[in-house]
Amino acid sequence: MDDNFADSASATAERSEALAFIDNARERLADVDEALARMDAGSYGVCADCGKPIPEARLEARPWAVRCVECAAARS
């Protein structure tokens, strides 16, 4: 075990944290893209799965949401 082991271990942890962050951001970006496309199409604020209106409180918290809470939960 060399002196750099601890350093490289924490660098590896930081790296996988960064990768997870990038993964999340990528997903978020896809959601934002979808939300923008739906805004153009005039279907923003309507659940992509069940077609019910997405509650305003949810859109305020997650403006990129394209599904209602129930449908989003059913997908994950």
Residues binding Zn ion (CB under 5 A) = 47, 49-50, 68, 71
CA dihedral 57, 59, 61, 63 (to 10 degrees): -170
Closest approach of Cβ 58 to Zn ion, in Å?
11
| Minimum CB distance to Zn ion smaller for 35 or for 47 | 47
- Of residues 42, 64, 66, the one with CA closest to residue 54: 66
Q: Which C-beta is closer to Zn ion: that of 34 or that of 49?
A: 49
**How is residue 33 written in tokens?**
């893209």
Residue 61 Cβ vs Zn ion, minimum distance, rounded to whole Å: 16
User: With respect to Zn ion, which residue has the nearer C-beta, 31 or 49?
Assistant: 49
* Smallest distance from Zn ion to CB 30, Å: 18
Residue carrying structure tokens 């790296």: 15
User: How far is the C-alpha of 24 from the C-alpha of 30, rounded, in Å?
Assistant: 10
